[in-house]
Amino acid sequence: MKAVSTFLLAATLACELIFPKAATAETGSSQLSEGSYAQPELPVGRRYLGYGRLFTNDLFGDKKDRWRTGSLTSSRVWGYHWNGTLPDRLGELLELRLQGQIITPSRLTRYVPSDRRYATAISLGLHSHAQWRGLEVSMGADIVVIGDQTGLSSFQRELHELVGADLPAAGILANQIGNTIRPTFVAEFGQDIQLENSNLRPFAEVRAGDETLVRIGADLTFGGGGGELLVRESVTGQRYRVLFNEEPRWNFIIGGDVAYVEDSVYLPDNIGVDLKNNRYRLRAGVNWQGATSSVFYGLTYLSEEFENQPEGQLVGSVRLKFEF
């Protein structure tokens, strides 16, 4: 029965990644969402607007199955309307965000005390997006559930059994980050600066909860488009589309950021592995938008997160959308 439930979960994730719901919301002549689902009861005038997601795994990067090894993030957005610009007040555009992630030591087959601990986390949160005095503001809160209680360690084990990959050793699972729940607050402030044939977007972020940090960075986008809502994925900093127009085009993205990390539930003080306070990320991506389908691939370098980590890592992020 457990194997059947794991297979169903894997099949559901695959469908989420590749095949969003067929119907889409429209504003004017531009299609502005990745999917349409049954709308819950919400205040009069508010309606479902769109859906986005991003799958990140080191299988698409350095292929070494370690540290920030995998995550899946998805967002669903409701609002009164979408005309290609953010509303003037927080609370009008609401985003329900769900994320699952798995963090591992560098080797799954043997417990090494000097490496980081195995950890799994599932978060569910409500966020809002608005514009204020020329800035784009994103603000929200998540409940982050951490530890074996998430069920993700069992899912990874059975998935690895299915594909013949290494299984997490008993010592690794016995020493994983324990069950806890962390309320988490996240806020980002950014500004779009239009350049010739490109768009520069510097931003600043604060996060408090599962990890407490401040971050500054920028993203540079080449190509057409505009009038879209993009949401930043927390592991890589890649931004994925939730509300978009379907103008056929190519986009090329480069970006990076630096962070000061005060503490992290995934690297606590009492495990003998010291947190590095300074982190940086470098990323690049390409997005192809066709008449009805789109593909995004991004590659991100993540610097070391703890003192004994010998090197950084490369992870890849993928979003596929096909409509027939």
DSSP per position, 166-201? PPPPHHHHHTSPPPEEEEEEEEEEE--EEETTEEEE
Please report the pLDDT score of residue 42 as a whole number: 52
- pLDDT tens digit string along 250-278? 999 999 999 999 999 999 998 889 999 99
- pLDDT tens digit string along 15-47? 444 444 433 333 333 344 444 334 455 556 889
Domain boundaries, the chain: 2-321
**Residue 226's pLDDT band (boundaries 50, 70, 90)?**
confident
Q: Return mean pLDDT, the chain.
A: 87
Tell me which residue of 46, 236, 235 sits closest to 128, measured CA to CA: 46
**Residue 160's pLDDT band (boundaries 50, 70, 90)?**
confident
How far is residue 103's CA from residue 116's CA, in Å, rounded to a whole number? 9
- Number of neighbours of residue 216 by Cβ within 10 angstroms: 13
- pLDDT tens digit string along 46-69? 899 999 999 999 989 998 889 999
How far is residue 223's CA from residue 187's CA, in Å, rounded to a whole number? 27
What DSSP character marks residue 314? E
**Sign of dihedral through CA atoms 88, 93, 94, 97?**
negative
83/27: higher pLDDT:
83
| Structural tokens at position 117 | 């601990």
How far is residue 245's CA from residue 29's CA, in Å, rounded to a whole number? 9
- Number of neighbours of residue 67 by Cβ within 10 angstroms: 21
**Residue 245's pLDDT band (boundaries 50, 70, 90)?**
confident
290/171: higher pLDDT:
171
Please report the pLDDT score of residue 32 as a whole number: 44
9/151: higher pLDDT:
151
Q: Is the pLDDT of residue 242 over 80?
A: yes
Instruction: For the domain covering 2-321, report its CATH number.
Output: 2.40.128.140
Q: Is the pLDDT of residue 206 over 60?
A: yes
246/241: higher pLDDT:
241
Return the bridge partners of 253, or none.
221, 285
Please report the pLDDT score of residue 304 as a whole number: 98
Q: Residues with Cβ < 8 Å from 24, sequence gap 6 or more?
A: 31, 32, 33, 34, 35, 36, 50
The model's pTM: 0.86
Q: Is the pLDDT of residue 158 over 50?
A: yes
Cα dist. 101→40, 70, 92, 303 in Å? Answer: 27, 6, 29, 18
Lowest mean pLDDT among 7-21, 90-104, 138-152, 267-281: 7-21
Secondary structure, 3-state, 25-53: CEECCEECCCCCCCCCCCCCCCEEEEEEE
Provide, rounded to the nearest whole percent, the portion of the chain with pLDDT above 90: 70
DSSP per position, 204-252? EEEEESSEEEEEEEEEEEEES--S-EEEE-TTT--EEEEE-----EEEE
| Structural tokens at position 290 | 């066709």
How far is residue 190's CA from residue 219's CA, in Å, rounded to a whole number? 10
Please report the pLDDT score of residue 15 as a whole number: 43
